[in-house]
Amino acid sequence: MIASEIPVLAVLCGANLPPDMAAVEAAAVVRYTDARGLPEALAGADALFVYDFLSTAVPGAWAAADRLRWLHIASAGVDPVLFPELRDSDVVLTNSRGVFDDAIAEYVLGVVLAFAKDFARSLDLQRAGTWRHRESERIAGREVLVIGTGPIGRATARLLRAAGMRVSGAGRRARTGDADFGEVHDSAELPRYLGEYDYVVAVAPLTEQTKGMFDAGAFAAMKPSARFVNVGRGELVVTSDLVAALRGGQLAGAALDVFETEPLPPDSPLWTLPDVLVSPHMSGDFAGWRRTLVEVFAANFRRWTAGEPLQNVVDKRLGYVPSESQGAAG
């Protein structure tokens, strides 16, 4: 950016405008747009803030991006904007790494306890006015595998361990002595070790390597008493294989916050399968999250206009922010 020019910022947001944009508006020409207006807003824009992070509109409007140098997305996962033309371009991609970590960790601990204490059955019995005593499970000492060793996976591992569980990780590189996970398995070899775990938690980013990693072979390798938790991306899972595994008793339950198609279609068997907990992609969305997302963007925007290194720069080949590089040249 030439310092003497006022930059042009396109904001993809649909009907809900991002809050607290005054500081950004004071230092840029801001063009708020929905998906339909995106090509027009991108023409001549220096930066794009994808506030509507579930939108799939960016690839189709990309041809209009004639001077874009920076794209920031208000989510941790960057898969909706990581298409080949962006990957091969010089446009810097940043995400909202860090915002959701602890909220998602709490959510995962919550569903683990919901399974162990049989809360869904308690609520169904309550709705039916039925008093029926059951025995419940302990979580202390149970084995958990967290697949994904980024900041969300690390926050999850720390919280589950604090609650008394035994936690391991799976990531791109097998290793021992990790500060949060202890042992980290190679996530390319899931079926080899999945059978050791009572809970399997998916928080990996969606990449070519992770897409469909939870397939029939993975579910067949799990304990029949195991529960599967997905707070990463729906596309990590071959949904039809998950449904078949649940029906076949190859695992004991699943808590799913993300789905291959969102909203989950009305005819999906996941709505009604026993021992499945469905939530609408909300695990990280604590009260105040939208303001926090804008704060993260605004802080990066201030760095960008000041010529300072941006935070949360995505390695576009990997598909996520590498742990080693928290900051990089913007």
Could you give the residue numbers annotated as active site? 233, 262, 281
Is 254 a binding residue for a second copy by CB under 8 A? The answer is no
Is 117 a binding residue for a second copy by CB under 8 A? The answer is yes
Strand partners of residue 202: 147, 230
Is 278 a binding residue for a second copy by CB under 8 A? The answer is yes
Is 103 a binding residue for a second copy by CB under 8 A? The answer is yes
Smallest distance from a second copy to CB 291, Å: 11
Is 282 a binding residue for a second copy by CB under 8 A? The answer is yes
Is 292 a binding residue for a second copy by CB under 8 A? The answer is no
d(CA 206, CA 212) in angstroms, rounded, equals 9
Smallest distance from a second copy to CB 48, Å: 24
Interface segment toward a second copy; rule CB under 8 A; list 10-18, 120-128, 166-174, 186-194: 120-128
d(CA 71, CA 46) in angstroms, rounded, equals 9
- Phi (first) and psi of residue 132, to 5 degrees: -140, 105
Is 249 a binding residue for a second copy by CB under 8 A? The answer is no
- Near a second copy by CB under 8 A: residue from 20, 34, 40, 106: 106
Strand partners of residue 186: 171
d(CA 311, CA 300) in angstroms, rounded, equals 6
Q: Backbone dihedral region of 307: left (phi > 0), alpha (psi from -120 to 50 degrees) or beta?
A: left
- Near a second copy by CB under 8 A: residue from 35, 113, 174, 252: 113
CA angle, residues 57, 233, 162, in degrees to nearest 5: 140
Smallest distance from a second copy to CB 34, Å: 18
Is 114 a binding residue for a second copy by CB under 8 A? The answer is yes
Torsion on CA atoms 295, 314, 312, 110, rounded to nearest 10: 80
- Near a second copy by CB under 8 A: residue from 43, 44, 119, 178: 119
d(CA 216, CA 221) in angstroms, rounded, equals 9
Tokens 């071959």 belong to residue: 238
* Of residues 41 and 165, the one with the C-beta less far from a second copy: 165
- Near a second copy by CB under 8 A: residue from 1, 23, 29, 116: 116
Sheet holding 199-202, edge to edge: 175-178, 182-186, 166-171, 143-147, 199-202, 227-230, 253-256, 276-278
* Of residues 81 and 160, the one with the C-beta less far from a second copy: 160
The binding track of 164-203 with respect to a second copy, each residue x by CB under 8 A or -, is x---------------------------------------
What single-letter amino acid sits at 270? Answer: L
What single-letter amino acid sits at 248? Answer: G
Strands 253-256 and 276-278, by their bridges, are parallel
The two tokens of residue 183 are 């042992």
* Of residues 132 and 173, the one with the C-beta less far from a second copy: 132
Smallest distance from a second copy to CB 107, Å: 6
How many residues sit close enough to a second copy to count as binding (CB under 8 A)? Answer: 52
d(CA 284, CA 289) in angstroms, rounded, equals 8
* Of residues 4 and 130, the one with the C-beta less far from a second copy: 130
Query: Which residues contact a second copy by CB under 8 A?
Result: 102-103, 106-107, 109-111, 113-114, 116-117, 119-120, 122-127, 129, 131-140, 159, 162-164, 262-264, 266, 271-272, 277-283, 285-289
